[in-house]
């Protein structure tokens, strides 16, 4: 790596003159090893960790910016507290790489790959890891629970340390936890607010304004002391003025320094503390450790600190990167045109054509593709912070008042707002469109980020329609159809990554039993029809969304083997299209492949619809999809092969099914 891109100054850790990198990190195999290091060595260690982070993450991809920002903070935490005796809980886990390094996990060569380190805390890796869930705003509830247990089990000498970012503090669950934490004062609980002014992008909302005021007014107490001395020096009139001022102190503090906001909850507050000064951090954390009640330590950090490309990256300070050139921060392989890019283009065109349309994001404006709309029409994008529940219910309100919200989320995060989809959007027949990015298997993002639950969950919402497009044209068409529905929720889902090559439709399945192929919601494309003159069982292969590519390849091979096979691709999959129900009832064998749960997914729903519409019709069925399990980290391709969702697996499943049916 070219020298000079990483911090070099031994005093500040800021980018500066070239300096050699030692091997202090190699001598840290467990947190207690930090105790023997001098102040100068700790600063050098921080620089060495940043070098290692950039070199490692550049090769594998991962969360770079958040970890560069918490190097000194993590060192200070492990020097002040005793993990695992003291419980460390990292909210979201984006910032846990430094924690991994200091707890004996320094081989990052296979980060976020099968057999390598997880991209988040992982109990299987270390006793120092507690919470694996990478959904934000949960750490304070976890911490409250652990602290309550410590008290009840008479383990009062143990501390709980929760590290939560200012972005995660915008989530409602964090405030529910704070309310409960404040109600009990006998817990050794330290809440570290890692305030870098950002979640992915700059943090929004009222809390952000409070923290902003804290950052810019650290001299409040000094100012008040100066006023006091001046007034008391002026005799009786001055003392009278001071008494009046003292009565107004609480209100004045609320205005000047919103630390009172936390203190009013009943939680002690200290800070702001320079998050890149290890000595100052240790001093503040040691004071917090001595309290026998909850305390908030407000730490100011810089996301992406010490790596020039990250510091100069405006959108998210290299929050998450693919493989990059460490010298420049540029991607090794330019990203192919993907699903998110298509949505980003189409939503702008739709908004230009319909003034009622607004985009809604939960602190992920750029990652979900709403940034171009925000740039073109800033008033038409609403960022609610990390608050998916609020996003959905507020959208129901917008729909009632005459707008058509388009709520763009990663599919995994919709799980957090299922009640709101059901009871606020669905029950009220609100014209709200939900766009689910990264639906299905996301692989290297880990168990909590696989967007595999949505179709099985959303099938329970009466009146909801869900589209699973297979290619770019299908996505654009589905979005146009979705936002045209004024009186029911619509959902459009698509996976992570590049868009597959288009597959030409041979025509639509004919309608039957109430199915109308002229209706956009009943249209089912025929992609392959092989062996029509052959004997043997008739196999209907139903491909959900982009699984169509593997299905068509398997279908062609079955045709070459003399099998009678039809491959179809429904444009909308919830509820089951009438034309598809009729076709499945006429087939001898039905195989459904979907990038979601096999149990309770589209295959299960289609089978139930056939049994309801055609009692006694007993075709042979096979559902190929994701098992009901929390999946270990692996690439998407590896997981597809594991679950028989690739071409070879589909071919095997189809041959077995046809054999059983014949």
Q: What is the pLDDT of residues 118-153, one digit of tens each?
A: 888 999 999 999 998 788 889 999 999 999 999 889
Query: Of the listed 72, 388, 530, 594, which one is catalytic?
Result: 388
**CATH topology (fold) of 338-493:** Rossmann fold (3.40.50)
**What are the residue ranges of CATH 3.40.50.970 in the chain?**
25-228+257-312, 338-493
Structure tokens at 480: 């146009």
Q: Would you tell me the crossing angle of helices 235-247 and 249-256 to the nearest 10 degrees?
A: 60
Q: Which one, of 558, 561, 565, lies nearest residue 589 by Cα?
A: 565
Tell me if 298 is assigned to a ligand binding site. Answer: no
Residue 134: predicted pLDDT: 80
Distance CA 285, CA 82 (A): 12
Residue 327: predicted pLDDT: 80
Tell me if 180 is assigned to a ligand binding site. Answer: no
Tell me if 168 is assigned to a ligand binding site. Answer: yes
Tell me if 505 is assigned to a ligand binding site. Answer: no
Active site residue 302: no
Residue 371: predicted pLDDT: 94
Residue 516: predicted pLDDT: 58
Active site residue 303: yes
Tell me if 217 is assigned to a ligand binding site. Answer: no
Can you give the pTM of this predicted structure? 0.84
Distance CA 320, CA 65 (A): 7
Residue 85, classified by CB atoms within 10 Å of its CB into exposed (0-12), middle (13-18) or buried (19+), is exposed
Tell me if 291 is assigned to a ligand binding site. Answer: no
Tell me if 307 is assigned to a ligand binding site. Answer: yes
Ranges under pLDDT 70 in the chain: 1-22, 198-262, 314-315, 335-336, 512-518, 532-535, 662
Architecture of the 507-661 domain: 3-Layer(aba) Sandwich (3.40)
Query: Of the listed 187, 317, 416, 493, which one is catalytic?
Result: 416
Q: Which one, of 474, 540, 539, lies nearest residue 504 by Cα?
A: 474
Structure tokens at 308: 């020039």
Tell me if 387 is assigned to a ligand binding site. Answer: no
Tell me if 128 is assigned to a ligand binding site. Answer: no
Active site residue 48: no
Query: Of the listed 79, 100, 303, 493, which one is catalytic?
Result: 303
Question: For the range 458-461, what are the long-range contacts, defined as Cβ-Cβ under 8 Å and sequence gap of 24 or more?
Answer: 458/421, 458/491, 458/574, 459/574, 459/575, 459/600, 459/601, 459/605, 460/422, 461/421, 461/422, 461/425, 461/426, 461/489
**CATH topology (fold) of 25-228+257-312:** Rossmann fold (3.40.50)
Distance CA 87, CA 187 (A): 13
**What are the residue ranges of CATH 3.40.50.920 in the chain?**
507-661
Residue 519: predicted pLDDT: 81
Tell me if 196 is assigned to a ligand binding site. Answer: yes
């Amino acid at each position: 790596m070219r020298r000079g891109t990483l911090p070099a100054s031994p005093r500040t850790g800021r980018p500066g003159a070239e300096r050699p990198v030692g091997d202090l990190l190699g001598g840290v195999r467990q947190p207690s090893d930090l105790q023997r290091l001098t102040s100068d060595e700790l600063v050098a260690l921080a620089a060495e960790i940043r070098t290692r982070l950039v070199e490692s993450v550049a090769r594998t991809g991962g969360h770079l910016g958040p970890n560069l920002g918490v190097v000194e903070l993590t060192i200070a935490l492990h020097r002040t507290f005793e993990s695992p005796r003291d419980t460390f809980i990292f909210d979201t886990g984006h910032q846990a790489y430094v924690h991994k390094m200091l707890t004996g996990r320094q081989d990052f060569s296979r980060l976020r790959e099968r057999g390598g380190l997880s991209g988040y805390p992982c109990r299987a890796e270390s006793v120092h890891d507690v919470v694996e869930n990478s959904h934000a705003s949960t750490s304070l509830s976890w911490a409250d629970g652990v602290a309550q247990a410590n008290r009840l089990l008479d383990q009062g000498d143990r501390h709980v340390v929760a590290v939560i970012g200012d972005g995660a503090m915008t989530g409602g669950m964090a405030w529910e936890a704070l309310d409960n934490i404040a109600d009990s004062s006998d817990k050794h609980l330290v809440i570290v607010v890692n305030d870098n002014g950002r979640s992915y992008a700059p943090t929004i909302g009222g809390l952000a304004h409070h923290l902003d005021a804290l950052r810019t007014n650290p001299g409040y107490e000094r100012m008040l002391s100066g006023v006091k001395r001046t007034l008391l020096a002026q005799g009786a009139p001055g003392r009278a003025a001071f008494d009046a001022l003292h009565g107004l102190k609480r209100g004045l503090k609320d205005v000047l320094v919103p630390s009172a906001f936390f203190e009013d909850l009943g939680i002690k507050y200290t800070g702001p503390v320079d998050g890149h000064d290890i000595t100052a951090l240790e001093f503040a954390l040691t004071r917090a450790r001595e309290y026998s009640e909850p305390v908030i330590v407000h730490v100011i950090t810089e996301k992406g600190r010490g790596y020039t490309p990250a510091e100069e990256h405006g959108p998210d300070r290299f929050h998450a990167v693919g493989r990059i050139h460490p010298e420049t921060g540029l991607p090794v392989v330019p990203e192919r045109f993907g699903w998110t890019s298509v949505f980003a283009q189409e939503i702008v065109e739709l908004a230009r054509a319909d003034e009622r349309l607004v985009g809604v994001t939960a602190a992920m404006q750029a990652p979900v593709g709403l940034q171009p709309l925000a740039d073109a029409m800033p008033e038409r994008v609403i960022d609610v912070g990390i608050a998916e529940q609020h996003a959905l219910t507020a959208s129901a309100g917008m729909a009632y008042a005459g707008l058509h919200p388009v709520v763009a989320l990663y599919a995994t995060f919709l799980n957090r707002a299922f009640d709101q989809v059901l009871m606020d959007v669905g029950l009220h027949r609100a014209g709200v469109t939900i766009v689910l990015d990264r639906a299905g298997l996301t692989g290297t993002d880990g168990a909590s980020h696989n967007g595999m639950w949505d179709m099985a969950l959303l099938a329970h919402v009466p009146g909801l329609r869900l589209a699973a497009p297979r290619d770019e044209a299908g996505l654009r068409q589905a979005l146009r159809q979705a936002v045209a529905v004024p009186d029911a929720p619509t959902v459009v889902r698509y996976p992570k990554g590049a868009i597959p090559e288009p597959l030409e439709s041979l025509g639509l399945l004919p309608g039957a039993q109430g199915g109308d192929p002229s209706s956009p919601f009943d249209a089912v494309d025929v992609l392959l029809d092989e062996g029509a003159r052959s004997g043997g069982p008739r196999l209907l292969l139903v491909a959900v969304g982009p699984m169509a590519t593997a299905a068509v390849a398997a279908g062609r091979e079955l045709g070459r083997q003399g099998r009678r096979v039809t491959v179809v691709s429904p444009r909308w999959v919830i509820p089951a299209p009438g034309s598809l129900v009729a076709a499945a009832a006429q087939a001898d064998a039905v195989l459904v492949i979907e990038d979601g749960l096999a149990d309770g997914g589209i295959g299960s729903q289609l089978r139930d619809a056939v049994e309801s519409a055609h009692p006694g019709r007993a075709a042979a069925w096979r559902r190929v999809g994701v098992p009901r399990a929390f999946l270990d980290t692996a690439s998407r391709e590896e997981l597809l092969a594991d679950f028989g969702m690739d071409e070879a697996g589909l071919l095997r499943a189809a041959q077995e099914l046809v054999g059983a049916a014949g």
